[in-house]
Structure 1
């Protein structure tokens, strides 16, 4: 009998536990992907990411065909239809076992439970961890609970890495002659992702380029959006085109060993991989994070603003704060935003405009090519002060000083705000007076909010939930 591999957010043939184990048993293997365009829309995911998904599915089909493994793409509307869709397909194409890698969102987990219940008497179902270096739920406190703070989680994660290392699985052997491939073309609204080469080979090449040229300098340059200081690998990680184990292997190959502590070359980027894992482990341990709920229940009582005009100004990059506006226009035009900028604009929306983080989270998901629930939710709740290991509520990024610090000459700002192209570097972060003297004030909007006053209001919002020490109220992130 054949084994069936169900691909989801793991669009690769290397280091794919489900595929590897299915082929290791010696049976013929066939593969399936079930596209749920309605579910994609319900989750508010971006048209540019859908285009990237379509191209990566095509690349996966080619790689599987080279191994003699056919890939069938089925279409459904939502996850509710998947159990019957899969059962109907299996009636025509009998298999003895189903292999899949675990997904962490609550809707995906409910889908998988429904599939298990529908097919339990039909075939053996085997689920693997192809998502993290260490399986969700395997890293806990001494009392057996999931960590709620990043630092102790990271220490345990590193201790486990020292003790057991990581497992990197090879590409399975071909099971027969190469097959021809039918073109994969997903339905639904799509925006071109041509700036991001699709496929496992493209992801591996980008990983090799980053680790060979920028890994050791990542800690120094990662916060400056005008330069290429980040890995730009998150779109590939979000769809599982590359794996976290492959990232570890690239670090080890470049440095001959894995960095285990701060100060060691490459550790800053490794720490970002641990943050990714932290948020994914949290999503499994606390299902409410998948349900539009705050991690800290008391923060559900925050009195957010419902100023639609302010939200629209934020979305379109017309707030009058250059670093915020440049970041948002970059997102809208490219489907991508630098991580430092994500923190700045998230702080601005929640702490300056006092708008619910959920609105920002949803807007990001609707635009980002690397949109992924765990990281997006974790980042937004961190910035808003509602999440696990969140930024303290009294930490409010000053958008002007953030711009001065991380885009000092205004190079990034001018790239995305051409109306500020002639503003001198010393004025570009607060350009309004200069524009007025040049009779050009009409080119760029005035600030929609006064930061100092908005900051005090944000602190008061959180202070209403509890009574913190007075000295904390006066602190501000610079």
Structure 2
């Protein structure tokens, strides 16, 4: 029998189209391993609802691996700095000869993975790494000058060219291997410092590859063709809501791309406007990972545009708390923030709107909002979350011009025209007529229904933000 190979699972909790798992299975019998590093997850602001989602998916994955006779080992290492030692010890116990894993892209994750690779090689053991989260290795796309892209449209053109010449294929699940004389570990139901998700959250986000594939197929059948027209409407089911499955690797980006191509007759840059728009969203995800790797300062809580570090952000704890709790007096903002608190997810248009409200209207540091989102989101992803926040705050790549401020009232009227989304999440306004639901209500009505008055004046807050950014741009 060939030597045992370890497959270190992270944000790739699936059997199908898992680069590391499949390649490990081609070299010999596989033992899968998952490391619990709760102290690091807490330091990185990972949300309890996301950890719960990981654990539920890990349980489903363990069942799938069992049908393939692949044991699953679970080791609590506390922090990422202990990963190399734990993996080497397991390799020694099992007399494993190789370690396979898929790359991750935060600064700490890259340092951890480099240390693991170095120590395995020093021990004379094989270590193989794969690009799995992305369609392209994040250093593979360059400008003609050989420098990293800073603008999405230019990055997308290069990505299109690469896809035309080489479309990444999806790998099958490993074949069933001969049984090993090893037992599997049972994933914990809950971890200290990470409360279990609510029954509603678990119902909204069912675990497992089968559930993820079903949601992908349903989206492609029911909503993909109209995605370009409905994606900005939080009152409609116009988005895929697949982001938790992509972030945690229950689905691969290749599986999503090929599903869209099947609907769009093999085209990714033409054909159905809905399919093209959704594929572009997959490429935005790719782009923000690319920025994370090529401009590592964004992993260090720094602005992509260094000059914007000088913006005079305000210190207003009361305003920050009102925003966090959905008590700003602006119904669409409050509805979105309450959706986040209840479900662990927020519609993408509303993420931009809430981020711009915090960073522009309230003139509070975008990093406080970025951190709050990460602590709440089931699909919290450093690259995408940071990229979205910096875009909204006009500090990032492809950022909104500083003079662009979304008006929460006009945005609500445009994208929630009947007020259905607001009524769903702001119970105080459930019986408010459509004609007045989008705008702050008169004081007498606010007192009657316990809904707060607006915490700012939109016009003066807009001028305050414009002044701050103008002064930054003035020598």
Report TM bin, short chain.
Answer: over 0.9
Structure 1 residue aligned with 2:471, among 464, 472, 478?
Answer: 464
Cα distance in 2 between the residues matched to 1:191 and 1:326: 23
The match for 1:313 is 322
Alignment of 1:186-335 (within 5 A): 186-188=190-192, 189-192=194-197, 193-195=201-203, 196-261=205-270, 264-335=273-344
Alignment of 1:96-115 (within 5 A): 96-115=97-116
Alignment of 1:33-432 (within 5 A): 33-122=34-123, 123-177=125-179, 182-185=185-188, 186-188=190-192, 189-192=194-197, 193-195=201-203, 196-261=205-270, 264-432=273-441
Cα distance in 2 between the residues matched to 1:92 and 1:219: 53
Q: Any idea what SS the aligned residue of 2:34 has?
A: strand
- The Cα shift of 1:337 comes to 0.5
- The Cα shift of 1:210 comes to 0.4
Q: Any idea what SS the aligned residue of 1:73 has?
A: strand
Cα distance in 2 between the residues matched to 1:439 and 1:99: 59
- The Cα shift of 1:238 comes to 0.6
TM-score by length of 1: 0.94
Cα distance in 1 between the residues matched to 2:448 and 2:13: 50
Deviations 1:138-186 (A, max 9, x none): 1110111111011010111111111111221111111125997543114
Conserved in 2, the CA contact under 8 Å of 1:259 and 1:265? no
Q: Any idea what SS the aligned residue of 1:172 has?
A: coil
Calculate the aligned-residue CA RMSD, in Å.
1.6
Cα distance in 2 between the residues matched to 1:464 and 1:101: 45
Range with bigger deviation, 185-194 or 301-310: 185-194
Aligned length: 465
Q: Any idea what SS the aligned residue of 1:247 has?
A: helix
- The Cα shift of 1:31 comes to 1.0
Cα distance in 2 between the residues matched to 1:202 and 1:111: 31
Conserved in 2, the CA contact under 8 Å of 1:259 and 1:266? yes
- The Cα shift of 1:456 comes to 1.1
Conserved in 2, the CA contact under 8 Å of 1:289 and 1:377? yes
The match for 2:23 is 21
Conserved in 1, the CA contact under 8 Å of 2:91 and 2:97? no
Conserved in 2, the CA contact under 8 Å of 1:432 and 1:441? no
Deviations 1:172-228 (A, max 9, x none): 111125997543114222232412110111111110110111100111111111111
CA distance change for structure 1 residues 263 and 68 in 2, over 3 Å: closer, same or farther? closer
CA distance change for structure 1 residues 110 and 180 in 2, over 3 Å: closer, same or farther? closer
Cα distance in 2 between the residues matched to 1:247 and 1:442: 44
Cα distance in 1 between the residues matched to 2:108 and 2:195: 23
- The Cα shift of 1:334 comes to 1.1
Q: Any idea what SS the aligned residue of 1:52 has?
A: helix
Cα distance in 2 between the residues matched to 1:225 and 1:191: 27
Q: Any idea what SS the aligned residue of 1:187 has?
A: coil
- The Cα shift of 1:240 comes to 0.6
Q: Any idea what SS the aligned residue of 1:87 has?
A: helix
Conserved in 1, the CA contact under 8 Å of 2:289 and 2:383? yes
Conserved in 2, the CA contact under 8 Å of 1:423 and 1:431? no
User: Structure 1 regions of 5+ residues with no counterpart?
Assistant: 469-478
Cα distance in 2 between the residues matched to 1:21 and 1:439: 61
Q: Any idea what SS the aligned residue of 1:125 has?
A: strand
Cα distance in 2 between the residues matched to 1:118 and 1:53: 27
Q: Any idea what SS the aligned residue of 2:97 has?
A: strand
Q: Any idea what SS the aligned residue of 1:95 has?
A: coil
Cα distance in 1 between the residues matched to 2:18 and 2:148: 26
Cα distance in 1 between the residues matched to 2:191 and 2:77: 11
Conserved in 2, the CA contact under 8 Å of 1:262 and 1:268? no
- The Cα shift of 1:237 comes to 0.4
Cα distance in 2 between the residues matched to 1:317 and 1:106: 33
- The Cα shift of 1:389 comes to 0.9
User: Structure 2 regions of 5+ residues with no counterpart?
Assistant: none
